[in-house]
C-alpha cells in the first residue's frame, strides 16, 4: 500500500467514524459536539486537509 492510499483509507475511515458517531450520539448537535465527537471531527478534518493538500500538490 502506498502512502497516498494509506492516507486516503485513513481519511475515509475517519469520515465514516465521525458520521456514525454523529448519527448515534445524542450529545452532538449541529452547533456543538461532545468530547468524543470533537476528537473524531478533528481527526477527520486533519486527514481531509492532508488528503486535499496532497491532491493539490499532485496536480501542480
Ligand atoms: Zn457525540
**Is the confidence at residue 46, as pLDDT, over 70?**
yes
Distance 2 CA to ligand 1 centre (A): 32
59 pLDDT higher than 80? no
The alpha carbon of 31 and the centre of ligand 1 are apart by a number of angstroms equal to 12
CA 58 to mean position of chain CA atoms: 20
Instruction: Answer whether 45's CB lies under 8 Å from 39's CB.
Output: no
Q: What share of the chain is helix, strand, coil (3-state, %, to 5)?
A: 80, 0, 20
Mark 21-59 as b/e (b = at least 16 C-beta within 10 Å): beeeeeebeeeebeeebeebbebbeebeeebeeeeeeee
pLDDT (0 to 100) of residue 1: 60
User: Where residue 40 falls among pLDDT bands split at 50, 70, 90?
Assistant: very high
CA 29 to centroid of ligand 1, rounded, Å: 8
Amino acid at each position: 500500500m502506498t502512502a497516498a492510499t494509506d492516507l486516503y483509507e485513513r481519511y475515509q475511515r475517519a469520515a465514516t467514524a465521525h458520521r456514525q458517531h454523529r448519527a448515534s450520539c445524542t450529545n452532538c448537535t449541529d452547533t456543538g459536539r461532545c468530547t468524543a465527537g470533537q476528537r473524531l471531527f478533528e481527526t477527520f478534518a486533519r486527514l481531509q486537509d492532508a488528503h486535499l493538500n496532497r491532491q493539490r500538490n499532485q496536480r501542480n
